[in-house]
């Protein structure tokens, strides 16, 4: 069983993620990745900002 | 004795000092694990025979879906602790988890919808699993609105805890929906009682992404709870000392 083996031969192949049925699935995978990272990043930013604002009031 | 133990170790002050110490370790560990696992899943696993490369969304969708349900269970346990032992910290945690739960459920719904386009040919169906997850998302938003609609915090905490416990009936429905009804959503690939239906090459990065995502969400809950504690305990002297 090979655990680590690059599934794509080039950068463009990895971006397009063309499947054996000829469909390119890259757009779906990358858009989900972008949404997940944006949501996580924005939530961190939102709460860091809120904590900063409320602690300023105490000082 | 249990009451004394809980009250001693679950005071907001002790909690704040403890989580502040643990936060950087959890944060860096989970970011590294999540990034490596997602990279592994997206680039180093083979293409799926049936779904093609779209199956790689599993490394983003499954952790979000699993954590969104786990967070609700955590809220239900914390609500019970509040109602039984009147531990304030537990209800602060319930209120802190709710928005993070809403975000993870949102990620689960959106990623599932996008995954549905190449796999099912549609982004939405009124399927039991999807609808029960949508109900979970609405419940999270409803709980936040309910708590914020009260001027009296004590009343708000009590109503929130009761509603969380009542709403927890939706969690087994989400879990079992693919077994009870004929749905478009596939049944669970990983169960405690059976051998996983997914190959180990694909399974290991999935476990990694679930652990990493759980850690990141824990960090978000810590931040959210810190804000709630500051908001609720602003008149206590220890808060000023802490800041």
- Is the CB of residue B180 less than 8 Å from the CB of residue B167? no
| pLDDT at B8 (0 to 100) | 67
User: Do the domain assignments include residue B4?
Assistant: no
**pLDDT for residue A2:** 66
Smallest Cβ–Cβ distance between A54 and the set B56, B64, B230 belongs to B230
Express each pLDDT in B85-129 by its tens digit. 999 999 999 999 999 999 999 999 999 999 999 999 999 999 899
**B231 lies within 8 A of chain A by CB:** yes
Is B105 contained in some domain?
A: yes
Sorting pLDDT into bands at 50, 70 and 90, what band is A1? Answer: low
- What is the total count of domains within chain B? 1
Whether B208 is covered by a domain: the verdict is: yes
A residues 9-28 lying closer than 8 A (beta carbon) to B: 14, 17-21, 23, 25-26, 28
Q: Cβ contacts (< 8 Å) between A45 and chain B: which residues?
A: none
A43/B111 touch (CB, cutoff 8 Å), yes or no: no
* Residues of chain A neighbouring B243 (CB-CB closer than 8 A): 55, 58-59
- For residue B190, is it within any domain? yes
**Cα B224 versus chain centre, distance:** 13
Establish if B14 belongs to a structural domain: no
Residue B54 with chain A: CB contacts under 8 Å: 17, 19, 23, 25, 28-29
- CA B45 to chain centroid: 26
Q: What is the ipTM of this complex?
A: 0.92
pLDDT on residue B173: 95
Contacts of B43 in chain A (CB under 8 A): 6-8, 14
Q: What is the residue range of B117's domain?
A: 22-43+55-233
**C-beta separation of B194 from B152 below 8 A:** no
Task: State whether residue B100 sits within 8 Å of chain A by CB.
Answer: yes
Q: What is the pLDDT of residues B169-214, one digit of tens each?
A: 999 999 999 888 888 887 777 777 777 778 888 999 999 999 999 9
The neighbour count for residue B5, using CB atoms within 10 Å, is 9
Nearest-by-Cβ selection for B44 from A6, A19, A55: A6
Residue B143 sits at the vertex; the CA angle it makes with B141 and B148, to the nearest 5 degrees, is: 100
How sure is the predictor about B10, in pLDDT bands with cuts at 50, 70 and 90?
A: confident
Residue B144 has pLDDT above 90, yes or no: yes
Tell me whether residue B103 is in a domain: yes
In a domain, B210, yes or no: yes
Inside any domain, residue B49: no
- The values of phi and psi at residue B52, to 5°, are 70, -145
**Chain B residue closest in CA terms to A32:** B111
């Amino acid at each position: 069983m090979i655990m680590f083996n690059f599934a794509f031969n080039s950068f463009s192949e990895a971006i397009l993620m063309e499947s054996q049925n000829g469909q390119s699935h890259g757009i779906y995978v990358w858009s989900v990745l972008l949404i997940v990272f944006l949501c996580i990043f924005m939530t961190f930013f939102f709460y860091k900002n809120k904590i900063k604002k409320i602690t300023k009031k105490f000082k | 004795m249990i009451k004394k133990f809980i009250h001693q170790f679950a005071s907001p002050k002790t909690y704040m000092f403890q989580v502040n110490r643990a936060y950087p370790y959890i944060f860096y560990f989970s970011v590294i694990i999540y990034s490596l696992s997602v990279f592994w899943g997206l680039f180093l696993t083979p293409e799926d025979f049936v779904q093609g490369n779209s199956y790689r969304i599993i490394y983003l969708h499954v952790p979000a879906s699993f954590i969104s349900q786990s967070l609700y269970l955590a809220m239900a346990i914390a609500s019970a602790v509040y109602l039984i032992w009147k531990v304030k910290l537990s209800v602060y945690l319930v209120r802190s988890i709710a928005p993070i739960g809403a975000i993870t459920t949102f990620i689960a719904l959106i990623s599932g919808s996008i995954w549905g386009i190449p796999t099912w040919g549609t982004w939405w169906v009124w399927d039991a699993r999807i609808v029960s997850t949508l109900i979970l998302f609405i419940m999270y938003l409803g709980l936040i609105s309910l708590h914020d609609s009260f001027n009296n915090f004590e009343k708000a905490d009590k109503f929130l805890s009761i509603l969380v416990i009542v709403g927890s009936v939706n969690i087994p429905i989400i879990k079992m929906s693919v077994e009870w009804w004929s749905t478009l959503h596939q049944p669970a690939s990983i169960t405690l009682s059976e051998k996983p239906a997914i190959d180990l090459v694909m399974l290991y990065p999935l476990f990694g992404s679930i652990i990493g995502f759980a850690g990141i969400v824990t960090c978000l809950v810590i931040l959210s709870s810190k804000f709630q504690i500051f908001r609720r305990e602003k008149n206590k002297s220890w808060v000023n000392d802490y800041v």
